[in-house]
Structure 1
Amino acid sequence: MRIIPLKNDSQELRLFESRIWVAAVLGTLLVLGLLMRLGYLQVVKHRYYATLAQDNRVSPVPIAPARGLILDRNGVVLADDFPVFTLQVTPDRVPNMDRLLAKLRPLVALNAQDIREFRRRLTQHKPFQSVTLRAHLSEAEAARVAVNLTRLTGATLHAQLRRYYPLGGLATAAIGYVSRITQTELHGRNADRYVGYRDIGQMGVEKSYQKELMGRIGYKDVEMDARGRAVKVLKRILPHAGHNLYLNIDAQMQAIGEQMLNNRPGTVVALNPRTGAVLTFISSPIYDPNPFVVGIREKAYKALATNPNGPLDNRALNGLYPPGSTIKPFYAYAALQTRWFHPHKYITCPGYYHLPHSTHLFHCWKPLGMGRVDLKDAIEQSCDVYFYRLAFKQGINRMTRYLTDFGFGHRTGIDLPGEYRGLVPTKAWIKASGRPWYPGQTVITGIGQGPLLVTPLQLADAVAAIAHHGIRMRPEVVRGVVNPVTHHVRFRKPYAYPAVPRRRKNSLKQLIRDMTQVVEGPHGTARGIAYGLPYKVAGKTGTAQLWSAAPGFKGKHIRSDALFIAFAPVSHPRIAIAVVVEHAGFGALAAAPIARALMNFYLLGHVHARPQNQLRPQIAQARISP
């Protein structure tokens, strides 16, 4: 019988040795792999992982710069910054948000609206971004929070600069205001540019000059402990303050105009005809912009938004008004460029006008008529019949062509956002409306009624063009931009639009003489403001009738807006002005005195002119006219 060995020692030895070699090779490969990986992480990716480690220990904190100041032409501060304490929370460092809020309630005043706004902002920011819980803490509140910060994980106390308007609502229509920046407002912008900024300009020069005012953000690297609390500042890059703005507006002159309007709905725009500088820019009623900076309460905003007088409306920039008789000089200028028109030819005004083959009567403001009038008389006394006839003869196309030459129906290009174009019934507009244009509409357009709508800024710009020999200057609110470090001033250069076409050499002089008679003439509709003036004024009154429903009246009734345009001195114009007072009646009584006061202040340094003689005609006895 064959004997089979139970164990082959040599075979097992070879198998064992082969396994040892395989294990050694695999072990060597693994060690080499680990060494290579270690070398890659330590050498190749050293900077990357060192940065990650540093980010876990060091947190960059943005430092917001001081927003640039806004000053009037004389250096009066209209928009400033002042330091306040702000309580902020970083969501991803808060273990329990409800518990944190409960700890904060005894320390600072937090109402239900504050909590709602805070939770709403939490949804609009990333978890690692700080969110404001309460802005503008009192000194006592800030002290209580500072003492208890060690047990308020995730909460931080910051000293920030807050926008402040020391004169309240003065010139808000031009200055605008700032408010908290939202994610919606960042949409379409370079969001990274606004990291660390809290406020953004919402209206006026605060918005149109946002880039100049905002400055450049700074940063500080803060070492944090394991609980997310700041230990020390490792590095600091200082921010650059925003540029300061000097306006062309005179704060004292602005205040005089606002006081004379006395919060009645209305507007005043005054320009320098030679440069386009905006001297006064009033929209009344006024409102205080300071609550918008910290976030206006819902109840307060609703009160402003539902106010029937519309304090939030920028009437100077966006108000659309029938110009009434203030448009007559521009139609007269259009007629003066033709060969068929004779300014010294008389017509008879019986107090009404009717189109050929029509019995409908268009009435003059003076029921019994004015008798024989030429162009001078028609402008001086504001004869409606004369301009009814003139409008019918010129036709709507010629009338509107010259209105557009004076800037009506177009934006003036002022350095403020949101300007309206107005409405001029041009041939293209009539065609686009899809409705027929009747001769009667041309007639009423001839006295500034009908579909014609203009802004007060356009009226001021157009009358400034008459004063400046037919040249329109682009209106400029900002006079210069000042670097706060170098104090270098970059002045805004005046810009002139093409001159209004002139085919008859002396037509503009003729028109200015006739407009001067409105104030200086014995029958002038604005002669009541001529008393004691040491300079001559050229102007035109206007009354625009409109239907409206008002409290205390049943149904609709006529309410008349009072308008007045003027420039002075006639020999060397330095100021052109447009005044609109809503529902105030006649321009001669409601709007012209405001213009006189502002012209006196700008030209003479005081509101009241010294009497030139002892005879003083009473303003109340002035002829009432459109």
Structure 2
Amino acid sequence: MPKRRDTLKDTEQEVRVFRNRSLLAVLLVLLMSGGLAARLFYLQVVQHDVFITRSDQNRVRVEPLPPNRGLLMDRNGVLLAENRPTYNLTIVPERVDDLEATLGLLVDILGLPESDVAALKARSRQRQRPFQPALLLSELDERQIAQLAVNRYRLPGIEVEAQLLRYYPDTDIMSHVLGYVGRINAEEVKTLDKGNYAGTHFIGKTGIEREYEALLHGTAGLRKVETNARGRVLRELGRTDPVPGQDITLTIDKQLQQLGYELLDGRRGSIVAIEPATGEILAMVSSPGFDANLFVTGISHRDYQGLRSNPDLPLYNRAIRGQYPPASTIKPFEALAGLENGVITPKKTVYDPGFYKLPEHSRRYHNWLRWGHGRVDMRRAIVVSNDTYFYNLAHELGIDRLADFMHRFGFGEVTSHDVHGAASGVMPSSEWKRERYGQVWFPGETLSVGIGQGYWLSTPLQLATATAVLANRGEWVTPHLAKRIGDEPVEPPQVKDDIELANEEWWDLVYGAMEDVMTGSEGTARRSGEDLDYRMAGKSGTAQVFTLANDERYNAAELEERLHDHALFTAFAPIENPGIAIAVIVENAGGGSSNAAPLARKMLDAWLLREEAELDEAPIRSEES
């Protein structure tokens, strides 16, 4: 067996080891304690201001206060666009752990289609800055509000807010004039003032709502509130009140606007009435209209497709966007152009056999009366709307002199002040055709323009404007829709120079011919001029929708309705002191004297004889129309 060696226990060595280890442990504890103390000092003393601010930011929240949108009223103070209280559902995505799951739960709670999750997710991103609420749903009903209240603990970051929502009480008749507001989309978010639109979910999209968006919106405010850990507001610490948008009084007369809409009776067309002395637009009707309230909270795909696919195009603002051949309504203006350029005199006559031929050409350009009017001078040519006289006049003037003179009345230009989206129409010239089509101008095209056809296109607003300038003896007025902003009157700038003729008596000569249109034995609109209580000047027009062959006759009975001629009529009254100028267009209605003139007469009666005319009981449609 190996020999075992006994060893003695070295207690001193063990004590030294223990002391060293204890000292090392104490030093380590002291070092760690020092580190903790130093960190605590750094956090509590050095970084005190930083962390107290962060703490307050977790406890104190700044919320935007959207301003109340300004109201829209007619010239008599009748409310056209108001704000109604409603409840909206909003979300702050930064306070939501799982956005998609939360939105799915929200859809289940409210009983919405599953497909709405994607739409709600897209809406949650449509806001100006982080921690700002995004609008999910509008106009919550009581049942939905109750369901959200019961499940509030399951929906962090989602709130029900009481806000004012735009409402249009007379939406169909005013839809194109006022336009509408709608949800702010992703593209608009990029361009909006993030501070001023904080908390605002709607913006003007079309019409007056868009034109005066900056004034109607107002200035956003803010409030500082204290919240608990769940984000619920405990108390308000301070606020800066929002500045509401300005109320705007329009030049529109609601009763006259309603009468015009009723007279059109759902037919496609437009009526525009202007006060010549001021340029104030009294009525600007486009028919058919649409329910603008559908767009405020977000129109459904089904409803929108229904409007888009409607063949009558209810979304199309015919008053300012519809471009029609002005037809014979331009003959008084053309007569002035001939007088001013020395091409004709009031007594100069032209023999009309029922057609006109260019020199050295065989093609016949027919008068509307196939057997002709015989010998006609300027006055009779306007009264009977003789085409042959104006073929000849247009040929002698030439397209460029004719175009230059018509531009003085605003044809081919946008001359309105605050009419959003107004089209310029087309006033053709040789230069215009060369730039547009790269072709030369042909003499036969001048003849078409001479009776308001061919390339010449005008909007109802342009026709009413030109008629107002004609009624003013060439004094220019700028058409506008806003009468007052707040208490301040609107004074639009004059956009064109006044028209001065070489002989002021020429105005009276044209007025006399236009009066005979209404009251003369040969006047084309004499049936609408019966029993007048004032002196009225008018001119009818019938615009072709398609081009007939040289020897082809127009027969409405053989054509579908949308190929029928457009009916036009322009007028102003009283002649001695014009109070209203008007343009009427009824699409595919046929002759202007029988289908548009009666509507103009009723509008003038309603405005000039208001005490006798009961607008609310006005007949919808006359037998003549």
TM-score higher than 0.5: yes
Change (3 A) 1:112 1:282: farther
Q: What corresponds to 1:41 in structure 2?
A: 47
Change (3 A) 1:371 1:621: farther
Change (3 A) 1:184 1:102: closer
Q: What corresponds to 1:449 in structure 2?
A: 453
Instruction: State the distance in 2 between where 1:246 and 1:192 align.
Output: 28
Pairing 1:108-127 to 2, within 5 Å after superposition: 108-125=110-127
- Long gaps (5+) in structure 1: 1-23, 483-488, 610-618
Q: Are residues 1:134 and 2:137 paired?
A: yes
Change (3 A) 1:51 1:579: farther
Instruction: State the distance in 2 between where 1:435 and 1:50 align.
Output: 77
Instruction: State the distance in 1 between where 2:528 and 2:283 align.
Output: 20
Change (3 A) 1:401 1:531: same
Q: CA deviation at 1:178?
A: 0.2
Q: CA deviation at 1:181?
A: 0.7
Matched position secondary structure for 1:597:
helix
Matched position secondary structure for 2:422:
coil
Q: Are residues 1:384 and 2:387 paired?
A: yes
Q: What corresponds to 2:433 in structure 1?
A: 430
What whole-Å deviation, never above 9, does each CA across 1:150-189 have from its counterpart, x for those lacking one? 3432221110111000112222211110000112023334
Q: Are residues 1:149 and 2:146 paired?
A: no
Q: Are residues 1:599 and 2:604 paired?
A: yes
For the 8 Å contact 1:320–1:453, the answer to whether it is kept is yes
Q: CA deviation at 1:223?
A: 2.0
Q: What corresponds to 1:3 in structure 2?
A: none
Work out which of the residue numbers 459, 477, 493 in structure 1 matches 2:491: 493
What whole-Å deviation, never above 9, does each CA across 1:566-607 have from its counterpart, x for those lacking one? 000011000000011111101111111111111111110168
Amino acid at match of 1:458: Q
Change (3 A) 1:235 1:340: closer
Matched position secondary structure for 2:401:
helix
Q: What corresponds to 1:270 in structure 2?
A: 273
Q: CA RMSD in A?
A: 2.8
Instruction: State the distance in 2 between where 1:620 and 1:181 align.
Output: 47
Amino acid at match of 2:62: P
Work out which of the residue numbers 71, 74, 81 in structure 2 matches 1:72: 74
Amino acid at match of 2:58: N
Q: What is the number of residues matched between the two proteins?
A: 577
Q: What corresponds to 1:9 in structure 2?
A: none
Instruction: State the distance in 1 between where 2:224 and 2:624 align.
Output: 74
Work out which of the residue numbers 165, 190, 197 in structure 2 matches 1:187: 190
Change (3 A) 1:296 1:33: closer
Instruction: State the distance in 1 between where 2:34 and 2:512 align.
Output: 107
Change (3 A) 1:28 1:102: closer
Q: Are residues 1:92 and 2:130 paired?
A: no
Q: What corresponds to 1:511 in structure 2?
A: 510
Pairing 1:350-429 to 2, within 5 Å after superposition: 350-429=353-432
Work out which of the residue numbers 223, 227, 231 in structure 2 matches 1:228: 231
Q: Are residues 1:588 and 2:593 paired?
A: yes
For the 8 Å contact 1:276–1:494, the answer to whether it is kept is no
Q: Are residues 1:561 and 2:561 paired?
A: no
Q: CA deviation at 1:102?
A: 5.0
Bigger mean CA deviation after superposition, 235-244 or 530-539: 235-244
- Long gaps (5+) in structure 2: 1-29, 548-556, 615-621
Instruction: State the distance in 1 between where 2:180 and 2:478 align.
Output: 23
Q: What corresponds to 1:53 in structure 2?
A: 55
For the 8 Å contact 2:430–2:440, the answer to whether it is kept is no
Instruction: State the distance in 1 between where 2:416 and 2:104 align.
Output: 53
For the 8 Å contact 1:114–1:134, the answer to whether it is kept is no
Q: CA deviation at 1:240?
A: 1.8
Change (3 A) 1:523 1:150: same
Q: CA deviation at 1:557?
A: 8.3
Amino acid at match of 1:570: I
Q: What corresponds to 2:21 in structure 1?
A: none
What whole-Å deviation, never above 9, does each CA across 1:439-482 have from its counterpart, x for those lacking one? 00001110001111111111100010011110121111111011
Work out which of the residue numbers 181, 188, 203 in structure 1 matches 2:206: 203
Bigger mean CA deviation after superposition, 118-127 or 381-390: 118-127
Q: What corresponds to 2:83 in structure 1?
A: 81
Work out which of the residue numbers 260, 264, 271 in structure 2 matches 1:257: 260
Q: CA deviation at 1:236?
A: 2.8
Amino acid at match of 2:98: N
Q: CA deviation at 1:225?
A: 2.1
For the 8 Å contact 2:346–2:379, the answer to whether it is kept is yes
Change (3 A) 1:145 1:427: same
Q: CA deviation at 1:33?
A: 11
Q: CA deviation at 1:369?
A: 0.4
Change (3 A) 1:201 1:29: closer
For the 8 Å contact 2:107–2:116, the answer to whether it is kept is no
Pairing 1:274-313 to 2, within 5 Å after superposition: 274-313=277-316
Q: Are residues 1:245 and 2:248 paired?
A: yes
Work out which of the residue numbers 483, 505, 513 in structure 2 matches 1:479: 483
What is the identity percentage for the equivalent residue pairs of Structure 1 and Structure 2?
38
Instruction: State the distance in 2 between where 1:377 and 1:505 align.
Output: 20
Bigger mean CA deviation after superposition, 500-509 or 62-71: 500-509
Q: CA deviation at 1:213?
A: 0.6
Q: What corresponds to 1:535 in structure 2?
A: 534
For the 8 Å contact 1:244–1:481, the answer to whether it is kept is yes
Amino acid at match of 1:513: G
For the 8 Å contact 2:62–2:225, the answer to whether it is kept is yes
Instruction: State the distance in 2 between where 1:31 and 1:557 align.
Output: 90
For the 8 Å contact 1:328–1:379, the answer to whether it is kept is yes
Q: CA deviation at 1:335?
A: 0.7
Amino acid at match of 2:585: V
Amino acid at match of 1:116: A
Instruction: State the distance in 2 between where 1:516 and 1:505 align.
Output: 18
Q: What corresponds to 2:551 in structure 1?
A: none
Q: What corresponds to 1:175 in structure 2?
A: 178
Change (3 A) 1:525 1:556: closer
Bigger mean CA deviation after superposition, 567-576 or 55-64: 55-64
Instruction: State the distance in 2 between where 1:161 and 1:92 align.
Output: 25
Q: Are residues 1:577 and 2:582 paired?
A: yes
For the 8 Å contact 1:217–1:239, the answer to whether it is kept is yes
Instruction: State the distance in 2 between where 1:578 and 1:68 align.
Output: 31
Instruction: State the distance in 1 between where 2:141 and 2:612 align.
Output: 42
Change (3 A) 1:583 1:182: same
Amino acid at match of 2:96: V
Q: CA deviation at 1:30?
A: 13
What whole-Å deviation, never above 9, does each CA across 1:384-439 have from its counterpart, x for those lacking one? 00000000111111100001011111101330221111111124313313112110
Q: Normalized against structure 1, the TM-score is what?
A: 0.87
Q: CA deviation at 1:308?
A: 1.3
Bigger mean CA deviation after superposition, 504-513 or 577-586: 504-513
Instruction: State the distance in 1 between where 2:412 and 2:198 align.
Output: 40
Bigger mean CA deviation after superposition, 470-479 or 102-111: 102-111
Instruction: State the distance in 2 between where 1:52 and 1:327 align.
Output: 73
Matched position secondary structure for 1:192:
coil
For the 8 Å contact 2:132–2:198, the answer to whether it is kept is no
Amino acid at match of 2:81: A
What whole-Å deviation, never above 9, does each CA across 1:89-119 have from its counterpart, x for those lacking one? 2222223345434543464342245333211
Matched position secondary structure for 1:221:
strand
Change (3 A) 1:607 1:255: farther
For the 8 Å contact 1:174–1:205, the answer to whether it is kept is yes
Matched position secondary structure for 1:408:
coil
For the 8 Å contact 1:547–1:557, the answer to whether it is kept is no
